[in-house]
Amino acid sequence: MATLATSVPSGRSAPPRKTPGKTLDALNFFLADVRDGLGPYLAIYLIAVRGPAHGWNEATVGLVLTIAGIVGLLAQTPAGGLIDRSKNKPRIVMAAALLVTISSISLPIVSGFTAVAVTQSIAAVAGAVFAPAISAITLGLVGAKHFAKRVGRNEAFNHAGNAVSAALAGALAWKFGPVVVFWLMGALTVASIFTASHVPNDQIDNAVARGLDCEPEEDCEEASGWKTLVENRPLMVFAAIAFLFHLANAAMLTSVSQLLAKTLGKDQATSLTAACIVAAQLVMVPVAIFVGRHTERIGTKPIFLVAFAFLAARGALYTVSDAPYWLVGVQALDGIGAGIFGALFPVVIADLTKGSGRFNVSQGAVATTQGLGAALSATLAGSIIVWAGYSVGFLTLAAIAACGFVLYLVAMPETKTHD
């Protein structure tokens, strides 16, 4: 990776220094499977392994995911504030990775709705740290000028890590069953903690990492995350857009996983869910690189509209057939929609909060609304599926994505000014 000079706030001077690009690459790669916890594998485990005999169906799984999602979203803004104040962000990443994994791998030995809800809620709280921490570490290392490009590279390695871990899970599940996901998460956590310990904390400019234009010890006026959100109309619009995107997107893969589990059985469902993830992640890698390289030229708005268009199309196409390989192929479209969202989310917020010193806590505030959408998505889709079937559930999610497209088109400004 080329050497990038770290930018500094006004009135500050520092010699250019080498950015630890390979360490950031490895951190994003290994954290990919850890930061999201069990994800769709939780639904497979609860539906196929425990099943109705233990009181689990699509609606109860959706309720657990909603509870954990709500707890996690309540942690988003405090997590952003913690990262803003922290002087050792890599250490926070290490602690969060360990906590997520302990909570997740305890699932085979805990029983009952309450115990599962508690462990997944703990994982959700710890998981709230990752997005603002990685963004802050990146911004503090490379500076605002190179941030969009580096975020695209981060996302590319994150998606590559997801693809590799999902492929391993799918291949090993044929022999060992869904439990292999727990082993894999433990191994990746060890690798993540080792890599995070090699991020040079002394090279992270903590003022730049929070978007400050003045020295942190100076008397800088700082608003709370929610005050920053309320007083910034474009940021509020973007928060609503993030809510709609995740309300439409979050339950799609989970619903496909449940459909596969009911029609094919737990072992094949785990492997095909892994194939769904691999298909999407492989598409996300070039998408993230493209977005990182061309956002400054194209702008954020046209690219984001493409994300919503593909999200709506994906929801509709799921209803065409329930053949396993059709579902895997349609899931690959997630690589475009979610790939764009992941690469642009921190970039848009950095643009809208530039100079405020509230970059990370604003990420947390917007991520709270985003998390609310994701949490409600599971319950909404699960309830509709139980009531009216999978096709109606997928079409409902597609309609929500279409609403997000319209809102972005008419209400969201372009954030790149091209000075």
pLDDT, tens digit, 9 for 90 and up, residues 349-384: 888 877 666 777 787 788 888 878 887 887 788 788
Percent of the residues in the chain that have a pLDDT greater than 90, as a whole number: 9
How many beta carbons lie within 10 A of that of residue 241, not counting itself? 25
Report the pLDDT averaged over residues 38-57.
Answer: 61
Domains (range + CATH), the chain: 21-212+223-411 (1.20.1250.20)
How many beta carbons lie within 10 A of that of residue 381, not counting itself? 28
pLDDT at position 119 is 83
Using alpha carbons only, give the angle 200, 220, 210 rounded to the nearest 5 degrees.
Answer: 30
Tokens of 409: 């088109």
Kindly tell me if the per-residue pLDDT of 217 is higher than 60: no
d(CA 375, CA 394): 16
pLDDT, tens digit, 9 for 90 and up, residues 240-292: 999 999 999 988 877 777 777 666 665 566 667 667 777 777 788 888 888 88
Kindly tell me if the per-residue pLDDT of 5 is higher than 60: no
pLDDT at position 406 is 95
**Segment (H or E) for 20:** none
What residues contact residue 277 under an 8 Å CB cut-off, 6+ apart?
40, 162, 163, 166, 253, 331
Minimum mean pLDDT range among 103-107, 227-231, 310-314, 337-341: 227-231
- Round the average pLDDT of the chain to a whole number and report it: 77
CA 350 vs CA 8, 77, 151, 361: distances in Å? 15, 16, 11, 11
d(CA 174, CA 267): 6
d(CA 276, CA 257): 9
Q: pTM higher than 0.75, yes or no?
A: no
334-352 vs 233-264: helix crossing angle, rounded to 10? 160
Minimum mean pLDDT range among 14-23, 101-110, 276-285, 389-398: 14-23
Report the pLDDT averaged over residues 158-175.
Answer: 75
Instruction: Look up tokens 């005999």; give the residue.
Output: 53
Minimum mean pLDDT range among 215-224, 259-268, 300-309, 407-416: 215-224
